[in-house]
Amino acid sequence: MDWQTTTDAVPAAIVPDARTVSLAARAPVTGAWREGDPVGDRRFVGIGDVELESGRTLPGTRIAYESWGELSPAGDNAVLVLHALTGDSHVVGPAGPAHASPGWWPGVVGPGLAIDTDRWFVVAPNVLGGCQGSTGPSSFAPDGSEWGSRFPFLTIRDQVRAQLAFARELGIERFAAVVGGSMGAMHVLEWAIMAPEAVERIAVLAAPPATTADQIALNSVQIEAVRSDPAFRDGDFYDAPPGDGPARGLALARRMAMLNYRTSAELNARFERGWQSEIDPLGGGGRFAVESYLDFHGNRFTRRFDANSYVVLTEAMNSHDLARGRGGVAAALRQVTAKSLVLGIDSDRYFPLAGQVELAAGLPNSVHGAGPVVVASEYGHDAFLIEHGAVGAAITELLAS
């Protein structure tokens, strides 16, 4: 749902079990970007205090972001790209000391691509509550220690309120387009309703009008996997020595999530009943190849993400409901004035196509008619990160409108 393209969405070689165990043993306490780490392509903007729906105030916040292209003299070519759950601001660019993974949308954003950085000024912030430079649980609170368990509950609307403040600090009054997938698409929808004057076009990729009971249930077991790790220590684990953080719980949550993001057909075709080594799992001691695949990706994930952020952002996704306080989904969507694109994936078992059908039917200014653009793919939910041709063509149509 929010995978770095080169780390999770693309088939990777399966590594030996011994290396998988070694990865877990050496896992850092957190994969968050921390003060003093290499900055890389990040920039930072302070946005002050953020008033939350809960009534609490998150003080002295900042947003980390990256950008590509140049803002026009008229300021009319800005495109906001919003990442999914475990993405960040590194949309395009190589991995390195400052960025644990390569950019997650290299086939869509860049010179000559659908979101052409020779034409558009592209801005991508790390979400509030994230762990790659924006204020989140691993950030220092005013008392000089990490927020940890004290970090407040956030909603999708809280995060959009922070993004609006971020845009004001950049001096951008109106975006030519706001684009996002999965959790990022939830933010896109709230942008279009909370600040219609600031949005000319929206691209909503693989997201529902509200998180359903089934989706909340899937999310809840991942949250519990993190919290049940004894090393999680109720979220106050940052003083633990390397190797003693909640890596097992976070890796398990990631393995669970991967089963939501991909399809049974893809896993069956890729791995069948093959095993990892010469030892037959049915004889004891061996492992099925699909088990090693999930373990490897779960363990690698702990090197670029924070356990507390995973909980905070997943709970924010659970809060998503366009209808809340607005008289229903249809009434909420009627408030949208932006030209819109809704895109869904036919094999998506996390956010099924029915959600995108409802959104497309209710948005008054769709560039694709009454229904969503439907991408046929074996990759399930992750297709919005992988099927660059189909996704790029739909975004190109929107930006040309």
Known binding residues for substrate: 254, 382
Residue 381 annotated among the catalytic residues of the structure: yes
- Contacts of residue 263, Cβ cutoff 8 Å, sequence gap at least 6: 347, 349, 378, 379, 380
The Cα–Cα gap between 340 and 81 comes to: 15
Dihedral of the CA atoms 183, 189, 190, 195 (nearest 10)?
Answer: 140
- 331: phi then psi, degrees, rounded to nearest 5: -65, -40
Q: List the catalytic residue out of 134, 182, 319, 366.
A: 182
Structure token pair of residue 245: 């953080």
Structure token pair of residue 180: 């996002």
**Residue-wise burial string across 336-353, b where 16 or more C-beta atoms lie within 10 A, e elsewhere:** bebbbbbbbbebbbbbbb
How many C-beta atoms lie closer than 10 Å to residue 251's C-beta?
Answer: 28
Q: 């229903």: which residue's tokens?
A: 328
In the annotated binding site, the residues are 254, 382
Q: Which amino acid would we find at residue 224?
A: E
Contact 332, 323 (CB under 8 A): yes
- The CA-based angle 312-220-155, given to 5 degrees, is 35
Q: List the catalytic residue out of 158, 348, 366, 368.
A: 348
HSE of 138, CA atoms in CB hemisphere, 13 A: 23
What DSSP state is assigned to residue 376?
Answer: -
Q: List the catalytic residue out of 83, 99, 320, 381.
A: 381
Partners of 321 in the beta sheet?
210
The Cα–Cα gap between 373 and 146 comes to: 43
The Cα–Cα gap between 268 and 325 comes to: 43
For residue 237, CA distances in Å to 26, 130, 252, 304, 305 come to: 16, 17, 18, 16, 14
Residue 182 annotated among the catalytic residues of the structure: yes
Residue 139 annotated among the catalytic residues of the structure: no
Q: Which amino acids are annotated catalytic?
A: 182, 348, 381
